[in-house]
Amino acid sequence: MPPESSWKQWYKKLKKPSWTPSGKTIGIIWSVLYPMIAVSYVYVLINYFRGNLDPIIFGIFTVNLGANIAFSPVFFGLKNIPLATLDILIVWITILLQHILIWQHSWIIGVLQIPYFIWVSIASVVQLTVYSKNKK
C-alpha cells in the first residue's frame, strides 16, 4: 500500500468535531453543489455581459467562486487553518448576499443558493471548530 499523503496525515491529526462528515459524504455533496454553482455563475456572467445585472452582483458571485476554489489549497495545501477559516467565512457571507441580490433577477438562481448556503453553514461550523480546537 502506498504511503499516505502528507495532507491526509496532517488532517487526520487535527482535532475535529465528532460529527464531521466523512470525505465520501463531502465528495457527494460537492458533486451535487458544483453543477449548481456553475449554472448560477454562468447565468450571472451572461447577464452581466448583456448589461442586465449590476456589477456588484457579478463581483459578489466572482468573489464567492474565487474563495470557494481557494479553500482547499489554503487549508490542505498550505495547512493554514486561520486563513482557511477567513476564506470559508467569505464564502458564507457571499452566498447570503448572492441569494438576496439575485432573487429579484431570477428566483431559480436564488433557490440554487439555498442548498449551497446550508452546506457551507455546516462546513463553516466544522471549520470554526477546527480553528478553535487547533490553535497553537
State the pTM of this model. 0.93
pLDDT of residue 135: 87
For the chain (136 residues), the mean pLDDT of every run of 10, in chain order, is 76 95 96 98 98 97 98 96 98 97 96 98 98 91
Eight-class DSSP state of 4: P
pLDDT tens per residue across span 11-39 = 999 999 999 999 999 999 999 999 999 99
What pLDDT does 46 receive?
Answer: 98
Angle subtended by helix axes 107-133 and 23-49, to nearest 10: 140
What is the per-residue pLDDT for 3?
60
14 and 136 in contact (C-beta within 8 Å)? Answer: no
